[in-house]
């Protein structure tokens, strides 16, 4: 929260010191100077390769860092800071080092952003909205796993670029997904992947195929019902002047017809009921699988 507050402080200072931050217009630059090893970075393709190289190098460096003593200590402080203090380490100093290292890699990302867009604004780069968005998608991807934030970055692009082009209610959908992840998968997408890989390692994943297919089918029905209701409500609030018809998945929904609302509600309720039933079945089977895995581990140790 302190880092989010510092970012918002800098964003507010941009309007107070326009000579330094460039004000609302930000600071512009030109990435094309003289050639460097035959490259002038004038084309978007050259910039793409530059960003890709830095991305892979920094990813490899961060992964290597997680295996160092400091990297392992950072994981320990994240999981159980009280125990780390008990064995004699200063958790504040460890977190301070983490802040420095994170700032280093964030600076590389910011520099590449400036090269790519040739403009930088404090309001868009360090505001609480931008920082909170990164934090949100890090949580969705899985903050406790190395590849979790990478998954979160992919989800960020899909949501902000693709989903935002499909519907004006994309922020509502994103909020609903976040709530569902908090309720049912607080470890993020990465934790779901790792838990299922553990099940597959012990040869029990086939027992979950049918329940997962049931969840997928019931989830699709639920999403169709919920999305149709949301799109009709948004259309009535924002685009009522365009008429009662709203396009939805290749069809048209009539917001002025009671039958349309009734069908959407029925589809949503039925899908939700099916989803809850399949979820309970999956939870029971998951519990039995975990018991079988624990028994296998005990037999192996014995």
What is the tens place of the pLDDT at every residue in 23-51? 777 788 877 777 777 777 777 788 888 89
Tokens 């909205």 -> residue: 129
The pLDDT, as a whole number, for residue 240 is: 76
- In 81-127, alpha helices (H): 81-86, 91-117, 122-125
- Beta strands in the chain, from DSSP E residues, in sequence order: 27-28, 119-120, 245-248, 251-254
* CA nearest neighbour of 54 among 107, 92, 6: 107
For the chain, the distance separating the N- and C-terminal CA atoms, rounded to the nearest angstrom, is 47
Name the pTM for this structure.
Answer: 0.80
Tell me the average pLDDT of the chain. 87
Task: Give residue-wise pLDDT tens across range 252-281.
Answer: 888 888 999 999 999 999 999 999 999 999
Contact predicate 204/289, CB 8 Å: yes
Backbone φ and ψ of 153, nearest 5°:
-65, -40
């Amino acid at each position: 929260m302190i880092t989010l507050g510092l970012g918002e402080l800098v964003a507010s200072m941009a309007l107070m010191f326009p000579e330094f931050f460039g004000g609302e217009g930000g600071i512009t630059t030109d990435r094309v100077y003289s050639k460097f090893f035959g490259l002038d970075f004038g084309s978007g393709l050259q910039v793409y390769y530059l960003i890709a190289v830095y991305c892979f190098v920094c990813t490899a460096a961060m992964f290597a860092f997680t295996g160092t003593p400091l990297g392992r200590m950072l994981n320990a402080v994240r999981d159980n800071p009280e125990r780390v203090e008990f064995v004699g380490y200063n958790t504040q100093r460890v977190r301070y080092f983490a802040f420095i290292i994170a700032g280093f890699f964030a600076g590389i990302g910011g520099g590449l952003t400036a090269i790519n867009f040739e403009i930088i604004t404090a309001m868009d780069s360090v505001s609480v909205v931008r920082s909170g968005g990164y934090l949100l998608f890090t949580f969705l991807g899985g903050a406790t796993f190395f590849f979790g934030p990478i998954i979160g970055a992919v989800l960020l692009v899909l949501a902000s670029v693709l989903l935002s082009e499909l519907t004006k209610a994309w922020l509502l959908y994103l909020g609903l997904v976040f709530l569902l992840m908090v309720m049912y998968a607080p470890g993020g997408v990465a934790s779901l992947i790792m838990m299922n890989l553990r099940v597959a390692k012990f040869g029990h994943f086939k027992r979950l195929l049918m329940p997962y297919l049931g969840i997928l089918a019931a989830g699709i029905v639920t999403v169709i019902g919920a999305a149709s209701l949301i799109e009709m409500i948004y259309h009535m609030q924002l685009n009522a002047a365009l008429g009662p018809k709203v396009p939805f998945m290749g069809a048209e929904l009539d917001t002025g017809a009671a039958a349309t609302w009734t069908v959407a509600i029925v589809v949503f309720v039925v899908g939700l009921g099916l989803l809850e039933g399949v979820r309970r079945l999956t939870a029971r089977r998951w519990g039995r699988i975990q018991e079988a895995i624990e028994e296998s581990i005990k037999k192996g140790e014995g």
